[in-house]
């Protein structure tokens, strides 16, 4: 098959941000996750937990709580504002000040008509949810301490509020407090410290469940206001609670990194009276669990250690299926690295800045398995800090290395890079076409003469670049009426084609010579996670979130023979069981039959000339092939050459 | 093992200002072991009831007068005798209130001390060495008193001993750094003078203690450098002539106590019995340099048996009356009960060596070699007392017998009574408290059983063995007695719990077990755990054939198809008849269940090859073949089945089985080679050895590859950046 020279780059110092809040939308099976840097991510649980949308953060926005109202997503933060997000354009739609100091919690009633906010100044504020905005309605009786947590009774008539040292129950109609439940402080030294009720849950049978900073999960009778049961679960804080939809199971996240499940079961078999019994403890986090979601089949948890953990409840899923395996989502499901092949440059995208590196060079040759001596070390050429409050949402580097662009939700910046000997000149291109203001994805053409930027309604703006200026050329629009953003762009090597993929799973091919839509690939139900067009055959290769691979001939406008064969045979089960999406596809210039693709843990070279692996074949067969003598290899080899030596962000 | 119990305070002290002196002159026994007379260093004498910690009477001489020695109690006349102002002898009774009104007599020479052994006549020892019986002195108080000691010679210590019928006054003197021992016999009077060997220059004995046993007087003395010497003087050999010449006194070093930093200052050693010495004012060997300890040492084994830290200053004073030590320390006089049971090697290994394991196991039971060598206890203690028994003990109100009474009872009472009382005693007290007496109980029971063939208490003995406070050396006849009485359950218990069964006894058991008829064995009720282990082993079907432990039953069948036919049917055993056609004979247990259980017990005892071999040779060839067949059966079972589920049950290990196979072969190889019946067996065993060799060589290979793997695994330090060549196939 062949030898490859691999640059193992470990200086991309990307650090994901801690998870602050979470909200699960049961209808659409979308999980919204807010991170400490203000970014909000949407995961699609029905499509292999793919991270389908990312709304970049903002310096001033610290999201403390998230809340779905139907398909609308609201957040409240320590800046005291309510934000509704525009999930089509991946940016905040509007913000409304609540005038109550930092907002600690936000909660909507079951009917989706009201939002209740818990504020620092001790008020519970009610906002009415209108079609286009939210409108302040009134304040509840003001309390002495801050309101840390809120939970509506499913009927919408009562609200439980967790505060310092107590829980208040409010009548949602009158705004008066009806009950005061005193929460006991911790023992010992913490006796003198106020206990914080970090989380409350109000169940339909008027049971109130609270989690507090003294490590207790307490069950209260909301009708009489009496304490029914105390479970001391940790020495530290119980930070988050989440109740299953049928209200028979409850999870509590602690600052020890554990998630503890309680279930409503009768203590003795056959008896009617059920009680909350501590059943399971999950330990998948190294630090505080700040946010929890209880889905139908799993417990989703996130916290300071930045990873999102989906822990299936084994009594709810079928054993030994893909659904029953634990999933940890550590890194973004999109590429934050851009590579200028010809120039040997790498562009790293951070929320705050960009880094441009030149790869090192090696000398001589080596045997497989060797590390070559690095003649010139990699060099950081530019660290470019972004301007403004908004975090970077996408970036691109031209293949020649002469252009660099990034975008935030509010603006696009384009830079001209010039290299003479060891000096790098960077010049901002000052006058950009005004259409180029809010884009979701950037991409340069292979000859670096054009910049493609995806914009609203799945359109793509084409901008022509020459020495000093850039001019607007055209806006490519799909025939469909999709309002979803384009999240993948790929310009073919020969400059003829541009492929786009949007979050409606549509893939459009544009002919760049004619600047018009060439065709639309039949829509497949799963998200495309990576697309690429073969430089010689002009076949489009698409990999989806469910790990399926398709090859589509642009000329014939149909799936290729190989693709059909692959679909007919089916992909190997081990391939389908991988839990990170393929984020990048490229091709081997020396062998046109090679498709190179990678996910987080491996890269794979698909040799289209070799037979496909069947269900019984060993998928990860490189070790076997290495150990058998040359003539026998052909018997064992198959199309998928997988190398797991590296964790992969990008490949070219 | 000797033990010190929790002490209690008898009275407070008024020590001298500089704490140089405890303020107590002496303690003497009064009418019985529970009453003592305490004389303080100035003017008063107090009578105490020890168990009540309460004074019963006190007498004081007038201000200005002083007592020169401790008052004694003359149990014949029920009178107290004391000496005040050097020459005034005072005698009074308990009912006398004022000492001044009591009898007084002034003698013509200064008195050193009055001594009176319990039941004996008081003796007066004058400062210049003369001795008078009190009666004869009082008949003529002003009689002239001769001078025995030369100028500059002064008495340092004295005591009074009754040997058989003879009364002795023993005292030591010091003259210019030389120390002498005087042995004064009364009626007829003889005096013998000995010179003590010199220790390092400048060191004089700190304390003396004398005892009489086996017609010899044993003198024990402690030097400041921690050496404890013993000198033995025969009572018989005392010359009748007045020896003016000081004989050299031979001595032997009994103990060399750790002294820590510097020399001992206030310390004292006291003989408790032939093997035990109580020492006060000497550091505890494992507790640093502090000297405020009371310790009991075993002189035979040089081991520390018990130690106790005493709060406050130790004055180097120590008295001992009937298993109670009286020790002044700080500002109190404490009474500390102790026991010194007869010691055995196992129990004498002592606390010093046990120190590190002591914490881990709750009841201080007999130390086993395992504990000492490997520091961990293999078996959990089974004598965990339940709350219930403790409760029932507390609520028991019927008068119960003490250990001593039970011991007496065992010697004469019928079996039922003995069983009842011993059981009662066991349930009443903590095993730990009882530990010393368990040994006594068993020895008395065993000796009664040996002398009286009708007397045997199996359940009581089993119960006592179960306490785990016993070892073989405490009751050397127990195992053989059990064998004689065919009490196989007791044998099993002994084999299980005794850490120190001699190889001869192990072999005797082995012989008895092999030769006994199966019917006898099945009658015995044995430890259910070990029985159930054997049951599972025997009942298990021949499982799937696999290569386990490097041994493949298939290849072994091929190896010796001839051996099967040759060896299988020659040896006639009971089990042979049960042979079925499905399983080969090797997989049928060659003996009954219970017999096998007992043999397993033998396999698990500790032994040393050298000591075991000569005894093994005594087995008859018939028995050897049977035993080897059994071992072969065990080996096959172990090799054939995976054994994880057997954990927790007491069972011999594969290594133990192999070791016994080797031992038996070693002992009887020539005989076996000549025995035609054994041919098949030997061939089988040969194949076992082969398979073991194969296993070891396979393990060697694995070890080699694992080591290579280890070398390979040296993690390349991947830096921030590297360019690597990979090859995909």
CATH number of the domain encompassing residue B43: 2.130.10.10
Specify whether the CB–CB gap between B478 and B579 falls below 8 A: no
Same domain, A208 and A156: yes
pLDDT above 50 (res B96): yes
Show the domain range for B102. 23-147
Residues in chain B: 729
Return the structure tokens found at A265: 């079961």
Q: Which of B721, B722, B727 sits opposite A3 (nearest CB)?
A: B727
Whether residue B273 lies inside any domain: the answer is no
Q: Is there a single domain that holds both residue A129 and residue A183?
A: yes
Which tens digits make up the pLDDT trace of A464-511?
Answer: 988 767 888 888 888 888 888 898 999 998 889 999 998 888 999 999
Instruction: Kindly tell me if the per-residue pLDDT of B681 is higher than 90.
Output: no
B605 and B697 together in one domain? yes
Same domain, A459 and A541: no
A364 close contact with B: CB closer than 8 A: no
Sequential DSSP letters for A64-86? EEEEEETTEEEEEETTSEEEEEE
Confidence of residue A1 (pLDDT cuts 50, 70, 90): low
- Binding-face residues of A in 589-618 toward B, CB within 8 A: 605
Q: Which residues of A touch B727 (CB under 8 A)?
A: 1-4, 368-369, 626
What are the residue ranges of helices labelled H in B608-677?
A: 609-616, 621-640, 654-674
Shared domain check, B675 and B535: yes
| Pairing between β-strand A274-283 and β-strand A258-266 as defined by DSSP bridges | antiparallel
Domain limits at A426?
Answer: 335-359+377-503
Same domain? For A155 and A279 the reply is: yes
> Is the N-terminal amide bond of B188 cis, ω within 30° of 0?
yes
Residues pairing with B37 in the sheet: B28, B47
Burial class (CB in 10 A: 0-12, 13-18, 19+), B167: buried
The size of the A-B interface in CB pairs under 8 A is: 77
Q: Rounded CA gap, B55 and B108, in Å? A: 34
Does residue A637 sit at the B interface (CB-CB below 8 Å)? yes
Q: Rounded CA gap, A251 and A256, in Å?
A: 14
Would strands B247-249 and B190-196 be described as parallel, antiparallel, or unpaired? Answer: parallel
Instruction: Tell whether A194 and A319 lie within a shared domain.
Output: yes
> Is residue A275 domain-shared with residue A420, that is, in the same domain?
no
Q: What is the pLDDT of residue B300?
A: 80
B99 within a domain of the structure (yes/no): yes
Closest chain A residue to the Cα of B721, Cα to Cα: A9
Q: Are residues B573 and B701 in the same domain?
A: yes
pLDDT tops 90 at residue A251: yes
Q: Residue A384's domain is classified under what CATH number?
A: 2.130.10.10
Nearest-Cα distance to chain A for B710, in Å, is 18
Residue A359, classed as helix, strand or coil, is coil
Question: How many structural domains is chain A composed of?
Answer: 3
Q: What tens digit of pLDDT does each residue of A575-634 get?
A: 888 888 999 999 988 888 889 998 888 888 898 888 888 888 888 888 778 778 888 888
Tell me the shortest Cα–Cα distance from B439 to chain A, in angstroms: 51
The single-letter DSSP state of residue B572 is -
Across chain B, what does the average pLDDT equal? 79
pTM comes to 0.53
pLDDT of B383 reads 42
Distance CA B338, CA B6 (A): 9
For residue A210, is pLDDT > 90?
yes
Supply the pLDDT for residue B242. Answer: 54
Predicted local confidence at residue A115, as pLDDT: 92
Domain tally, chain B: 3
Same domain, yes or no: A561 and A637 = yes
Quote the pLDDT of residue A589.
84
pLDDT band at A651 (very low <50, low <70, confident <90, very high): low
pLDDT of residue A457: 85
Whether residue B599 is contained in a domain is answered as yes
Q: pLDDT per residue over A146-186, tens digit each?
A: 999 999 999 989 999 999 989 999 998 888 888 899 888 87
Chain centre to alpha carbon of residue A208? 32
Higher local confidence (pLDDT), B390 or B332: B332
Backbone φ and ψ of B302, nearest 5° = 60, 35
Residue B568 has a pLDDT of 39
Task: Kindly report, residue by residue over B114-162, the tens digit of the pLDDT.
Answer: 998 888 889 999 998 899 998 888 888 888 888 888 888 899 999 998 8
Sheet of strand B153-163, all strands in order from the earlier edge strand to the far edge:
B153-163, B166-175, B178-186, B190-196, B247-249
Q: In this structure, are A93 and A109 located in the same domain?
A: yes
Binary contact (B724, A371; C-beta < 8 A): yes
Pair (B604, B537) in one structural domain = yes
Give the pLDDT score at B399: 56
Give the DSSP H/E element, type plus range, for residue B478: helix B478-484
Q: Could you tell me if residue A370 is inside a domain?
A: no
- Give the confidence band of B239 by pLDDT, cuts at 50, 70, 90: low
B709 vs A488: CA distance, rounded Å = 45
pLDDT of residue B642: 56
Chain B residues touching A10 at Cβ < 8 A: 718-721
Residue B516 lies in a domain: no
Which residues of chain A are within 8 Å of residue B719 when distances are taken between CB atoms?
A: 10
Tokens of B41: 């260093």
Segment B457-466 shows an average pLDDT of 87
- B723 to chain A: which residues are within 8 Å by CB? 5-8, 360, 362, 371-372, 374
Tell me how far CA of residue B250 lies from CA of A643, B197, B209, B231, in angstroms.
Answer: 89, 8, 16, 6
Give domain status of residue A421, yes or no: yes
My answer on whether A492 and A558 are in the same domain is no
Instruction: Decide if A9 is inside a domain.
Output: no
For chain A, what is the radius of gyration of the CA atoms? Answer: 27
Domain match, B655 and B590 both: yes
Q: Mark which of A503, A535, A569 sits at the end of a domain.
A: A503
State the average pLDDT over residues B687-694.
84
- ipTM rounded to 2 decimals: 0.74
Residue B352's pLDDT band (boundaries 50, 70, 90)? very low
- B17 lies in some domain: no
Q: Could you tell me if residue B308 is inside a domain?
A: no
Q: Percent of chain B, pLDDT > 70?
A: 81
pLDDT at position A652: 54
Which token pair is A184? 């006991």
In a domain, B700, yes or no: yes
Do A113 and A217 lie in one domain? The reply is yes
Inside any domain, residue A367: no
Per-chain mean pLDDT for chain A: 88
The whole-angstrom distance between A351's CA and the closest CA on chain B is: 22
């Amino acid at each position: 098959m062949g030898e490859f020279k691999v640059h193992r780059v470990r200086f991309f110092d990307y650090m994901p941000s801690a998870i602050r809040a979470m909200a699960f939308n049961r209808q659409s099976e979308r999980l919204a996750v807010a991170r400490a840097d203000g970014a909000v991510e949407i995961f699609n649980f029905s499509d292999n937990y793919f991270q389908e949308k990312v709304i970049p953060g903002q310096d001033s926005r610290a999201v403390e709580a998230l809340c779905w109202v139907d398909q609308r997503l609201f957040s409240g933060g320590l800046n005291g504002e309510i934000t509704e997000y525009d999930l089509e354009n991946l940016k905040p739609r509007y913000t409304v000040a609540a005038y109550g100091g930092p907002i600690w919690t936000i909660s909507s009633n079951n009917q989706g008509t009201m939002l209740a906010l818990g504020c620092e100044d001790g008020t519970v504020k009610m906002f009415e949810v209108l079609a286009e905005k939210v409108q302040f309605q009134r304040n509840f009786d003001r309390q002495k301490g801050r309101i840390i947590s809120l939970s509506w009774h499913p009927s919408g008539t009562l609200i439980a509020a967790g505060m310092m040292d107590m829980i208040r129950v409010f009548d949602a109609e009158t705004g008066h407090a009806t009950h005061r439940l005193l929460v006991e402080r911790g023992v010992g030294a913490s006796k003198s410290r106020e206990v914080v009720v970090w989380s409350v849950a109000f169940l339909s049978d008027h049971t109130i469940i609270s989690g507090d900073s003294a490590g207790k999960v307490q069950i209260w009778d909301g009708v009489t206001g009496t304490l029914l049961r105390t479970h001391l679960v940790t020495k530290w804080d119980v930070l988050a609670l989440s109740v299953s939809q049928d209200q028979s199971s409850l999870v509590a996240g602690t600052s020890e990194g554990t998630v503890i499940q309680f279930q409503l079961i009768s203590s003795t078999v056959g008896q009617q009276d059920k009680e909350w019994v501590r059943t399971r403890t999950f330990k998948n986090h190294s630090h505080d669990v700040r946010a929890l979601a209880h889905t139908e089949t799993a417990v989703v948890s996130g916290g300071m250690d930045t990873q999102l953990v989906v822990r299936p409840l084994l009594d709810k899923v079928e054993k030994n299926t893909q659904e029953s395996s634990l999933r940890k989502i550590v890194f973004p499901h999109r590429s934050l690295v851009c590579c200028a092949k010809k120039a040997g440059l790498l562009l790293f995208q951070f929320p705050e800045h960009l880094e441009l590196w030149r790869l090192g060079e090696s000398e001589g040759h080596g045997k497989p398995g060797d590390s070559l001596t690095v003649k010139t070390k990699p060099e950081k050429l530019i660290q470019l800090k972004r301007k403004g409050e908004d975090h970077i949402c996408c970036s691109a580097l031209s293949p020649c290395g002469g252009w660099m662009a990034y975008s935030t939700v509010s603006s696009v910046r384009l830079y001209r890079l010039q290299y003479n000997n060891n000096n790098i000149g960077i010049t901002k291109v000052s006058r950009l076409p005004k259409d180029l203001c809010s884009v979701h994805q950037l991409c340069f053409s292979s000859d670096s003469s054009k910049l493609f930027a995806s914009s609203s309604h799945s359109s793509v703006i084409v901008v022509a670049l020459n020495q000093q200026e850039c001019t607007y050329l055209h806006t490519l629009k799909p025939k469909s009426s999709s309002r979803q953003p384009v999240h993948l762009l790929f310009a073919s090597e020969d400059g003829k084609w541009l492929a786009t993929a949007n979050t409606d799973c549509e893939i459009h091919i544009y002919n760049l010579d004619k600047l018009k839509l060439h065709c639309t690939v039949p829509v497949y139900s799963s998200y495309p996670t990576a697309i690429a067009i073969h430089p010689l055959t002009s076949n489009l290769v698409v990999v989806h979130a469910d790990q399926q691979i398709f090859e589509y001939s642009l000329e014939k406008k149909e799936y290729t023979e190989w693709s059909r064969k692959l679909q007919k045979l089916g992909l190997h089960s081990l391939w389908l069981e991988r839990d990170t999406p393929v984020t990048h596809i490229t091709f081997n210039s020396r062998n046109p039959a090679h498709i190179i693709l990678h996910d987080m843990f491996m890269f794979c070279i698909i040799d289209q000339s070799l037979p496909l692996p069947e269900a019984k074949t060993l998928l990860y067969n490189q070790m076997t092939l290495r150990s058998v003598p040359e003539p026998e290899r052909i018997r064992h080899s198959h199309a998928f050459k997988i190398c797991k030596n590296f964790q992969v962000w990008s490949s070219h | 093992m000797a033990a010190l119990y929790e002490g209690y305070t008898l009275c407070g002290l008024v020590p001298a200002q500089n704490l140089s002196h405890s303020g107590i002159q002496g303690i003497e026994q009064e009418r019985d072991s529970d009453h003592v007379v305490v004389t303080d260093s100035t003017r008063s004498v107090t009578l105490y009831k020890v168990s009540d910690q309460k004074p019963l009477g006190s007498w004081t001489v007038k201000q200005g007068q002083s007592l020169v020695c401790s008052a004694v109690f003359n149990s014949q006349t029920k009178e107290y005798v004391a000496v005040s102002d050097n020459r005034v002898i005072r005698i009074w009774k308990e009912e006398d209130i004022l000492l001044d009104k009591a009898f007084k007599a002034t003698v013509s020479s200064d008195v050193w001390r009055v001594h009176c052994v319990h039941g004996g006549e008081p003796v007066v020892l004058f400062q210049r060495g003369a001795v008078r019986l009190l009666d004869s002195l009082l008949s003529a108080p002003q009689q002239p008193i001769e001078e025995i000691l030369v100028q500059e010679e002064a008495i340092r210590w004295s005591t009074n001993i009754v040997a058989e019928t003879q009364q002795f006054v023993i005292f030591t003197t010091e003259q210019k750094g030389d120390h002498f021992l005087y042995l004064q016999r009364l009626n007829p009077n003889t005096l013998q003078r000995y010179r003590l060997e010199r220790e390092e220059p400048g060191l004089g004995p700190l304390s003396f203690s004398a005892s009489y046993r086996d017609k010899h007087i044993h003198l024990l003395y402690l030097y400041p450098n921690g050496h404890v010497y013993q000198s033995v003087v025969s009572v018989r050999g005392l010359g009748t002539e007045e020896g003016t010449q000081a004989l050299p006194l031979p001595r032997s070093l009994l103990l060399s106590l750790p002294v820590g930093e510097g020399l001992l200052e206030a310390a004292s050693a006291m003989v408790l019995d032939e093997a035990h010495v109580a020492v006060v004012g000497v550091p505890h060997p494992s507790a640093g340099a502090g000297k405020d300890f009371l310790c009991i040492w075993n002189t035979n084994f040089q081991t520390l048996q018990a130690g106790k830290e005493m709060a406050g200053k130790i004055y180097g004073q120590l008295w001992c009356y009937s298993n109670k030590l009286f020790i002044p320390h700080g500002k109190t006089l404490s009474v500390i009960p102790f026991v010194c049971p007869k010691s055995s090697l196992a129990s004498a290994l002592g606390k010093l060596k046990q120190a590190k394991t002591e914490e881990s196991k709750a009841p201080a039971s007999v130390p086993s070699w395992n504990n000492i060598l490997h520091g961990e206890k293999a078996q959990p203690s089974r004598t965990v007392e339940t709350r219930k028994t403790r409760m029932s003990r507390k609520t028991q109100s019927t008068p119960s017998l003490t250990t001593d009474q039970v011991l007496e009872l065992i010697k004469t009472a019928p079996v039922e009574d003995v069983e009842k009382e011993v059981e009662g005693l066991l349930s009443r007290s903590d095993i730990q408290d009882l530990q010393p007496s368990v040994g006594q109980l068993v020895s008395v029971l065993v000796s009664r059983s040996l002398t009286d063939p009708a007397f045997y208490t199996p359940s009581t003995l089993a119960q006592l063995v179960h306490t785990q406070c016993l070892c073989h050396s405490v009751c050397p006849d127990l195992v053989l007695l059990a064998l004689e009485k065919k009490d196989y359950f007791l044998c099993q218990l002994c084999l299980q719990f005794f850490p120190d069964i001699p190889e001869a006894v192990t072999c005797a058991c082995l012989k008895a077990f092999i030769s006994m008829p199966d019917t006898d064995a099945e009658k015995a009720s044995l430890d259910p755990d070990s029985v159930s282990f054997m049951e599972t082993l025997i009942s298990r079907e021949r499982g799937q054939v696999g290569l386990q432990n490097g041994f493949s039953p298939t290849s072994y069948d091929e190896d010796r198809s001839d051996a099967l036919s040759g060896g299988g049917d020659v040896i006639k055993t009971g089990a042979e008849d049960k042979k079925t056609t499905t399983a080969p004979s090797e997989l049928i247990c060659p003996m009954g269940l219970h017999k096998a259980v007992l043999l397993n017990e033998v396999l698990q005892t500790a032994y040393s090859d050298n000591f075991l071999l000569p005894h093994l040779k005594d087995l008859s060839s018939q028995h050897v073949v049977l035993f080897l067949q059994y071992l072969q059966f065990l080996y096959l079972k172990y090799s054939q089945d995976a054994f994880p589920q057997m954990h927790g049950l007491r069972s011999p290990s594969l290594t133990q089985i192999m070791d016994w196979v080797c031992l038996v072969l070693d002992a009887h190889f020539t005989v076996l080679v000549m025995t035609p019946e054994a041919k098949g067996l030997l061939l089988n065993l040969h194949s076992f050895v082969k398979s073991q060799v194969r296993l070891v060589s396979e393990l060697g290979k694995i070890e080699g590859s694992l080591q290579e793997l280890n070398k390979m695994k040296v993690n390349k330090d991947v830096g921030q950046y590297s360019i690597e060549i990979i090859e995909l196939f």
